[in-house]
Amino acid sequence: MGASIKSGLAMVSVLESWGVDHIYGLPGGSINSFVAALYERRNHIRFIQVRHEETGALAASADAKLTGKIGVCFGSAGPGATHLFNGLYDASMDHVPVLAIIGQVASSAMNYDSFQELNENPMFADVSVYNRTVMTPESLPHVVDEAIRRAYEYKGVAVVTVPVDFALVDIPDVPVSTAANHRSGVLMPDAADVDAAILLMAQAQRPVLYVGQGARGGAEEIMALSEYYAMPVVLSVLAKGIVPDDYKNFLGMAARVATKPANEALAMADLIVFIGSDFPFARAFFSPAARFIQVDIDSSKLGRRHHADVAILGDARETMRQMVAKGKRKEAGKWLEANRLNREGWDVWLKGFKDSDAVPMRVEPVFHEINRIAEPDAVFVTDVGNSTIHAVRLLEMNAAGQQFTTSGWFATMGYGIPGGIAARLSYPHRQVFTLNGDGAFAMSMQDIITQVRYNLPVINIVFSNDSLGFIEAEQEDSRQEYYGVDLTPVDFAKAAEAMGAVGFTVTKPEQLEKVFTEASRSEKPVVIDVKVDNKRPFPAESFVLDGEKYSKAEIDAFKKRYEVRNMPVLRELLG
């Protein structure tokens, strides 16, 4: 007879062959046979014990976003499985590959209404691109291999449910993995489509280049296209850092997690060149009259957000190269110059608060310190809420080695701490920050313990304003009473110390420099609890500054509330 191997070990061997070096989860009765296999291979795949399965799934999603490699998590039958959903939906909606291994009761106990038994396959149907329950021990390594293939191919979540008894069964030890055969390629655009796009760009008087994470790694191509056709650049939130924040033609982000210059340019554009994005708010913030060129590698997205005059199925970077190579350079004119001035004025206003000595504190002095200590290859993990707005505006990501991640489409609170764990595990020698509101931080703060357990010196910053500020603004805009948005104050620094981390509480601007310097030198996880004023961020989606739309009294009231100075609207800059 040939050699045999435990089915669970064969499955772990498949994970290793695909380059998986760590995996998140919690042991449980219906997953312990897999945990036993991880123990046998503990020198090859690192098991990261999280304190909540949701943390593991979110960390796996963040792994995939930051590295492009598949993230892996697991949960036991019943509650362990259901706890994974938040992280799996985050991966699904931001289109990154994640494998979830789900425990199940023994095959002999299935369909007997056993303890913690759920019909798990239909539960995961919506979130997954591949979803199978393993039917025999012999098929287990094959199903896991196929799941990883599908997750990479379709950029989504693959789910494999495994009855607990299967992993302990001896099966023939034969090669199963197809990792060595995995390939990815560049989808070349159709030449006629590129020519049609070039014609529209040549004709446009007010073009804007909007770029999403599909153009990641394409900074040179983006800037070349922008300058060749005299187009200001707007990025999706998930694309922050693709081009330097100080690039002269860069205006910021659109919609609510946004900047004023970006929203104004998109509203006035006569052409939008939309590359590598599926921006869900296009109908609200893009000019409906604008001509539209869309470039994507997924044909199902073409024309979905705005009528596309030219739809190009092709790789973002290659398409941009061809647009430059085949077109004719346009001279920068009044449109580009006005947008540059708009961005410059916006920056002057933002930076005017960095030395504020106000108490309760503004957030700008905090970001000034983050930018001061940030290393050229730092990773920034931003949770969801007002912290996201502040991060896209105030983080100065000008070094090519820096990275940014957040929960984009799913926009789940509680992403920061898991993302910090993932970043430090994937890049153990890089500086990692997490930026969290107090509401979001409280959702996953128990996993500061995980950062401590695995000696992950993440700098976790909490902006404590005792409010769900982002939702409070939504309640204001819908003219309802504030309700359910106030938060009980918490001393997060003391809580961090109780979990084994270093904790700092900051209440005054003069404390910031010393605290952030110490944090940058710490060899342990740090939590900096900064007590900030509950000020609504400047509402870039609905600012009241245009004299053709609002009365002087309305504009004066807006300027007073948001401390606006010397901020003309784009229409005025165009003359």
User: Which residue numbers are catalytic?
Assistant: 53, 115-116, 256, 384, 470-471, 474
- Nearest residue to 132 (alpha-carbon basis) of 117, 110, 148: 148
Query: For residues 379 and 86, what is the distance between their CA atoms, to the nearest angstrom?
Result: 22
Angstrom distances, CA of residue 266 to CA of 56, 257, 282, 414, 541: 38, 15, 9, 31, 12
Nearby residues of 564 by Cβ (< 8 Å), 6 or more positions away: 349, 538, 545, 558
Q: What b/e sequence results for 448-476 when a residue is b if at least 16 CB atoms lie within 10 Å of its CB, and e otherwise?
A: bbbbbbbebbbbbbbbbbbbbbbbbbeee
Which amino acid is it at 534?
N
CA dihedral 88, 89, 95, 96 (to 10 degrees): -20
Classified as helix, coil or strand, 429 is coil
- CA 222 to CA 247: how far, in whole Å? 11
Q: Copy the structure tokens of residue 197.
A: 């796009």
**Residue 508 one-letter amino acid:** K
Rounded CA gap, 420 and 358, in Å?
30
Per DSSP bridges, beta strands 4-6 and 170-172 are antiparallel
Residue 306: CA atoms inside 13 Å, Cβ hemisphere, count?
Answer: 30
Specify whether the CB–CB gap between 16 and 91 falls below 8 A.
Answer: no
Write the CB contacts of 120 (distance below 8 Å, at least 6 apart in sequence): 77, 81, 102, 104, 133, 161
Distance (Å, rounded) from C-alpha 452 to C-alpha 421?
Answer: 10
Residue with tokens 């050229």: 376
How far apart (Å, rounded) are the C-alpha atoms in residues 92 and 96?
A: 6
379-382 and 403-406 as β-strands: parallel, antiparallel, unpaired? Answer: parallel
Directed axis angle between helix 364-373 and helix 386-394, to 10°?
60
